[in-house]
Chain A
Amino acid sequence: MTTNSTLAPPAAAPQLAASAHAKRAATRRAALEWIAVHALGIAATLFFVLPFVFVLLTAVMTDNQALTGDLWPKDWRWSNFGTVWNTPGFLTWWRNTLLYAGLGTLLTVVSSTPVAYALAKFRFRGRNTAMMLVIATMMLPPQVIIVPMYLFWAKQLHMSGTLWPLIIPLAFGDAFSIFLLRQFLLTIPKEYTDAARVDGCGDLRTMLRVVLPMAKPAIAAVALFQFFCCWNDYFGPQIYASENPAAWTLSYGLESFKGAHHTNWNLTMAATVLVMAPVIVVFFFAQKAFIEGVTLTGVKG
Chain B
Amino acid sequence: MSRLTKAAAAIAATAAISLLASACTGSSESAANDDPNKDVTITFWHGWSAPSEVKAINANIKAFEKVHPNIHVKVQGNITDDKINQALRAGGAGAPDVVSSFTTDNVGKFCSSKAFADLSPFLKKSGIDPAKTFPTAMLEYTQFEGNRCSLPLLGDAYGLYYNKDAFKAAGITSPPRTMSEFKADAVKLTKTKSDSYSQLGFMPDFHGYESTTTHLSAQWSPTYFDKNGKSNVSKDPAFASMFNWQQDMVKALGGFTKLEKYRTTFGDEWDAKNPFQTGQVAMAIDGEWRAGMAEDAGVKFPIGVAPFPVPDDQAASYGKGYVTGTIIGIANTSAKKNAAWELVKYMTTDTDAVVSFANAIHNVPSTYAALKSPKLSTDPAFQTFVKIAQNPGSNTTPPSVNGGTYQLTLQDFGYAYESGKQTDLTAGLKGVDTQVDKDIAQAK
Contacts and interface: CB of A to CB of B under 8 A. Distances in A.
- A–B proximity contact (CB within 8 A): yes
Interface of A: 63, 67, 125-126, 129, 148, 151-152, 154-156, 158-162, 242-245, 256, 258-264
Contacts of A244: 76, 94
A67 B83 contact: no
Interface string B75-113: 010110011101101111111000000000000000000
15 contacts: A67-B265, A125-B3, A151-B22, A152-B18, A154-B89, A155-B25, A160-B87, A161-B95, A243-B94, A244-B94, A245-B78, A258-B268, A262-B49, A264-B271, A264-B272
B7 interface: yes
Most chain B CB atoms below 10 A, which of A155, A156, A258, A263: A155
A63 B272 CA distance: 10
A243 B21 contact: no
A160 B268 contact: no
B7 A126 contact: yes
A216 to B, nearest CB: 34
A287 B270 CA distance: 42
Contacts of B18: 152
B86 A158 contact: no
Interface in B366-412: none
Given A161-B90, A161-B95, A242-B86, 5 more contacts: A63-B272, A67-B265, A67-B267, A158-B92, A161-B87
Contacts of B21: 156
Nearest to A256: B78
Classify chain B: how many residues form its interface, as a range.
Answer: 20 to 34
A79 to B, nearest CB: 18
B67 interface: no
Interface string B41-74: 0000000011100000000000000000000000
Most chain A CB atoms below 10 A, which of B78, B79, B90: B90
A259 B83 CA distance: 15
Contacts of B169: none
A155 B91 contact: yes
Contacts of A261: 49
A129 B95 CA distance: 43
A160 B271 CA distance: 31
Interface in B251-306: 265, 267-268, 270-273
A260 B49 contact: yes
Nearest to B21: A156
Most chain A CB atoms below 10 A, which of B25, B49, B86, B91: B86
A158 B90 CA distance: 7
A259 B267 CA distance: 12
Given A161-B94, A258-B268, A259-B270, A243 B50 contact: no
Contacts, number: 78
B4 interface: yes
B90 A243 contact: yes
Nearest to B15: A148
B92 A148 contact: no
Contacts of B7: 126
Q: Which 7 A-B residue pairs are closest in the complex by CB-CB distance?
A: A158-B92, A154-B90, A161-B94, A243-B87, A160-B90, A243-B83, A262-B271
Contacts of B82: 242
Nearest to A125: B3
Contacts of B78: 245, 256, 260
B383 to A, nearest CB: 27
Contacts of A148: 22
Contacts of A256: 78
A272 B92 CA distance: 33
Nearest to B84: A243
A162 B86 CA distance: 13
B49 A161 contact: no
Contacts of B271: 258, 262-264
Contact of B90 (A126, A155, A258, A259): A155
B93 A158 contact: yes
A151 B272 CA distance: 40
A112 B328 CA distance: 48
Contacts of A262: 49-51, 268, 270-272
Given A245-B76, A259-B270, A260-B78, A129 B4 contact: yes
B353 to A, nearest CB: 25
A126 B3 contact: yes
A155 B268 CA distance: 37
Contacts of B25: 151, 155
Given A151-B22, A155-B25, A264-B273, A161 B79 contact: no
B93 A152 contact: no
Nearest to B18: A152
A126 B82 CA distance: 44
Most chain B CB atoms below 10 A, which of A126, A162, A244: A244
Contacts of B89: 154-155
Contacts of B79: 243
Contact of B92 (A125, A129, A160, A259): A160
Contact of B4 (A126, A158, A162, A260): A126
Nearest to A157: B92
Nearest to A130: B7
A73 B26 CA distance: 57
Nearest to A158: B92
Most chain B CB atoms below 10 A, which of A125, A152, A162, A262: A262
